[in-house]
Amino acid sequence: MISSTAYKLYVIAILRCAYPKAVNRDLKFYYETSFMSELFKKIGLSESLLPDFFEKTGRAYSNIHNFMLDRINEFKGRVQIIDGTLKSYNSDEVTFSQWSRKGKVKGSKDFTLLYTCDLYTKEPIYHRPYQGNMLDSTIFEDFLENVPSTGEILVADKGFRTKAITELLEQNKNVKYLLPLKRNTTLIRAEKLDENLAPVKIKDKQLLGSKKQIDGKFFYLFKDLEIAGKESVGNYQKHLKRNTFNIDEFNKNNQFFGVIVFESNVDLSLEDVYTLYDQRWEIEEMFNFYKNILELSKTRVHSEMKVYTTEFINYLSLIIATKVKNNLIRLNLHQNYSFRQIIEYLRSYKVEVINDTEWKKRKVLKYVQGLAELLEI
């Protein structure tokens, strides 16, 4: 039997997915003026009751963790994107709220949010908030300790390529990874990775690539000829303008223009590695939605427990949004409409009750009716 807590979390997640800027005092209004109140009756969303609900749910964090462990098993053996982001949160009462390096520049405290997503469905799998001033290596170590490896490949960005994280990966041989390196790494020349380049067949790309195994690790180098050309011209114009052009220096820099290098403990094809890298940016765009669903404010959160609950609800909202978006793509609706357009159009699709029992659809524009029928609403 599904608990009342689960129903309430689900309803709030849907409402916040539909109304990203909704604060606690808005939830009851959106619930009572939507069909959610018919599908899920008597969900208590009174503003005065929500703080206690958030506190109690956060204190039962083991249930949240178990939910995510089920998600991890569901995506067992798949390619996962792992990343961290800072979310603005100013509080003197919550230890999550700390001055990060970037926070000091922008004048706002943060907390760090670690997350993993499935590369292909874009669905979030795992997330956890940490203090804003915590080192990436400490967060990653906690992730490795608390999240069992299920044969997935973790794809990260350059921020995870630190000495401490490299040592952690050496100690955890069962963790498969793909990490980008800085393109001016001495490894390129020392191991001659930029020699013997061959065409890499990726649609709409002009790529050369090479692959080399060194001490049990695989290194993949790509040179994007289009990007290399633009960077070369930009470098030429910059030095010409400053009257500092030097042909030897220019040729030296040319080697690195348009270059991306990856390190992995998995033997992959060049085509697969580049595809993993390229699709990662779609995850970045999706996660920006997650990050912006709700920036925490003092009106919503006053304790660590409530941070756990709020971020879990945001996580559920993203799962819902991603599943909806994937369904729209499956129906090829993305070819004619943006995701935001479809949601806005469907806001006008309403039903009203007649004689306290009969539901009647309101008249809507023809293309809105067509969308509703296609989506079987």
Within a domain: residue 133? yes
Pairing state of beta strands 358-361 and 217-224?
unpaired
Instruction: Indicate if 83 and 173 belong to the same structural domain.
Output: yes
- With a cut of 60, say whether residue 298 has pLDDT above it: no
pLDDT of the residue at 251: 83
Report if residue 249 sits inside a domain: no
Check whether residue 340 and residue 295 sit in a common domain.
Answer: no
Are the C-beta atoms of residues 30 and 18 closer than 8 Å to each other?
Answer: yes
* 113 within 8 A of 127, measured Cβ to Cβ: yes
pLDDT of 317 higher than 80: yes
Containing structural domain, residue 125: 49-183+209-219+263-330
| One domain for residues 174 and 299 | yes
Q: Is there a single domain that holds both residue 290 and residue 147? A: yes
Q: Are residues 69 and 129 in the same domain?
A: yes
Q: Where are the alpha helices (DSSP H) in the chain?
A: 4-18, 24-32, 36-39, 50-59, 61-74, 101-106, 136-146, 163-171, 187-190, 225-242, 247-254, 270-293, 304-330, 339-346, 366-374
Per-residue pLDDT band for 227 (boundaries 50, 70, 90) equals: very high
Residue from 152, 144, 146 nearest 171 by CA: 144
- Reported as half-sphere exposure (CB side, CA atoms, 13 A), residue 17 has a value of 23
In-domain check, residue 288 = yes
Return the pLDDT at 296. Answer: 43
Give pLDDT, residue 281: 67
Whether 56 is covered by a domain: the verdict is: yes
Instruction: Tell me the range of 121-135, 204-218, 350-364 where mean pLDDT is highest.
Output: 204-218
Number of domains, the chain: 2
The Cα 6–Cα 3 span in angstroms is 5
Q: Does 295 lie in the same domain as 312? A: yes
Residue 176 shares a structural domain with residue 277: yes
The verdict on residue 91 lying in a domain is yes
Residue 246 has pLDDT above 80, yes or no: yes
Q: What is the dihedral of CA 302, 305, 308, 310, to 10 degrees?
A: -40
Q: Hey, what are 287's tokens?
A: 């996660």
Q: Residue 226: inside a domain, yes or no?
A: no
Per-residue pLDDT tens digits for 171-193: 888 888 898 888 778 888 888 88
Average pLDDT across the chain, whole number: 83
Per-residue DSSP letter, 262: E
Residue 272 domain-assigned (yes or no):
yes
Task: Answer for the pair 72, 126: CB distance below 8 angstroms, yes or no.
Answer: yes
- pLDDT for 77-116, tens place per residue? 888 888 777 665 556 555 555 555 555 556 667 677 888 8
DSSP 265: S
Same-domain pairing of 275 and 173: yes
Residue 53 pLDDT level (bands cut at 50, 70, 90): very high
pLDDT at 60: 92
pTM: 0.77
Asked, for residue 188, whether it belongs to a domain, the answer is: no
Regarding whether 277 and 356 lie in a shared domain, the answer is no
